[in-house]
Amino acid sequence: MTDKKDKLAQYKKKRDFRKTAEPAGETAEFSWADKRPIFVIQKHDASSLHYDFRLEVDGVLKSWAVPKGPATDPKTKRLAVPTEDHPLEYADFEGVIPEGEYGAGTVMVWDRGNYETLTKDDGGSEDDSIEKQLARGRVTIQLHGEKLAGGYALIRTGKGEDVRWLLIKMDDKNADARRNPVSSQPKSVKTGRTLNQIRKEAEKE
Ligand code: MN
């Protein structure tokens, strides 16, 4: 196992913990998760609005920024741009990152829960651990969130500087082309607040 501190070097380098309330630590207990590993999706109103999709992998949160957020229609492919690993503790972060700091803007816990890796249908001998799936650039997981449920795939495409990932709902009983949770369920699953309420309450502090 790689040293957790090394994995978070990029995360820590980008932030001044005297100025931002984002977590620097690595504690990892979640009262809201009855199983591990966890996933969290944070709505982040930074220079442009996006959804940070994070998966617990080997002691950190592997992260992608999804500009349009996750869909429930299997025909919809959503761009997912990889970002630096975040500490596990970040899954509980909701608040405002101050002006001038990296990622300045409001963060909301938009969805959370636990996930399982899906094994290949062919029952083949390939290692289906999340680490191996990430290395292969083809991740299939089952989400158990409050808004999102069922299979999702993260697929790596392109090469070199053109590497990008796509987040796609798998075609299962939870797929629903009529749903659009990004617009119909905009509030925090942690506090029930809107982005505006989070921002205003942070200003009062
Ligand atoms: Mn972000």
Residue 122 Cα to ligand 1 middle (Å): 36
Q: In this structure, are residues 90 and 61 in contact, taking their beta carbons and an 8 Å threshold?
A: yes
DSSP 8-state class, residue 119: P
C-alpha pair distances (Å), 196 with each of 25, 49, 51, 200: 27, 13, 16, 6
* pLDDT score, position 1: 47
User: Rounded CA gap, 140 and 100, in Å?
Assistant: 37
* pLDDT score, position 158: 87
Residue 154 Cα to ligand 1 middle (Å): 18
pLDDT tens sequence for the chain (205 residues): 455 567 889 999 999 988 998 988 666 789 999 899 999 999 999 999 999 999 999 999 999 999 999 999 999 999 999 999 999 999 999 999 999 999 999 999 999 999 999 876 555 556 689 999 999 999 999 999 999 999 999 999 988 888 899 999 999 999 999 999 999 999 999 999 999 999 999 988 7
Residue 126 Cα to ligand 1 middle (Å): 33
Residue 203 Cα to ligand 1 middle (Å): 20
Q: Where are the beta strands (DSSP E) in the chain?
A: 38-45, 49-57, 60-66, 77-87, 95-97, 105-117, 138-145, 149-157, 164-169
Single-letter residue type at 153: A
* pLDDT score, position 33: 93
Residue 175 Cα to ligand 1 middle (Å): 26
pTM for the predicted model, two decimal places = 0.91
Residue 56 Cα to ligand 1 middle (Å): 16
Residue 83 Cα to ligand 1 middle (Å): 8
* pLDDT score, position 122: 55
Residue 74 Cα to ligand 1 middle (Å): 24
Single-letter residue type at 124: G
Residue 52 Cα to ligand 1 middle (Å): 5
Dihedral in degrees, nearest 10, Cα atoms 143, 145, 149, 151: -10
